[in-house]
Structures are given as C-alpha cells and as structure tokens.
Copies of this chain bind each other. A is one copy, B any other.
C-alpha cells in the first residue's frame, strides 16, 4: 500500500513551473513530458492546485504560474490539496467489528486516538518543509 503518486506529481509540476518560467510557456503537455505521464493527469492535478490558490492556469492561451508565496505553503498543503487521503484519514479500519463482543465494541475507543496521533506526527513533519526550501535545494543542484 502506498500514498498515490499524485502527491509526487504535484511537487514535480510546481518545480517545473518555477524552473522553466523564464524560458517557456509551461503547458500541461510540457509538464507531462517531464513527469512522463499523460497530460490529462497534469491538467487534473493543476486544477486542484488552482482550487487551493497555489497556481493560476491560463485557459485558452495556456500555461501555468505559481501565485502563492513560496514560503507560505508546505509539503502538507500540497499533500492535502491533491486529496492524497480519503476522509483525511490515513489508517484504514475494518468496517464492522462485532458490537456484541467486548473487544469489538471498544476497539475504536482504544485505538483511534493513537492512530490520529501518528497521522498528526506525519502531517507535522510534512508541514516543516516549505516550497521555498524545495526550490532552493533544486536550484543549488542545477
């Protein structure tokens, strides 16, 4: 089991937009050839990034730009933006524990809090890295 690659693709998209913004019109086709997936995938994810006010996409004329300040959003924002989780819940849980059984009746009460804490630890760490940091690391490498 894995978190969908929509997340890594979203990161890749944003980096492409920034890196090539001077020299190219960064279209879904252009990005798709760097990510190596179908342009429609890129358009869908760009659509979500747009809904969250991270990018602006030029309909008709084409091309995308980042409109949010680079230090004001993090990996967590990107992660949440592309709906990486259903119901914002990381851990799946078997559907119908038997309520006639003392364990089945109370398993959620006992376990849920620990799972939530663990998910929060993940989110907290994701929130530590701003997009600015990512871009700086990329630029240093280039």
Contacts and interface: CB of A to CB of B under 8 A. Distances in A.
A118 B110 contact: no
A33 B98 CA distance: 7
Interface in A1-48: 1-5, 7-9, 11-12, 15-16, 19-20, 33-37
Contacts of A85: 1-2
Size category, A interface: 35 or more
A75 B34 contact: no
A12 B125 contact: no
A12 to B, nearest CB: 5
30 contacts: A1-B4, A2-B85, A2-B90, A3-B90, A3-B91, A3-B92, A5-B92, A8-B93, A12-B94, A12-B97, A12-B103, A12-B104, A12-B107, A19-B102, A20-B103, A33-B101, A34-B101, A34-B103, A35-B94, A36-B94, A36-B98, A102-B142, A103-B138, A106-B138, A110-B137, A111-B134, A114-B129, A119-B122, A121-B121, A122-B125
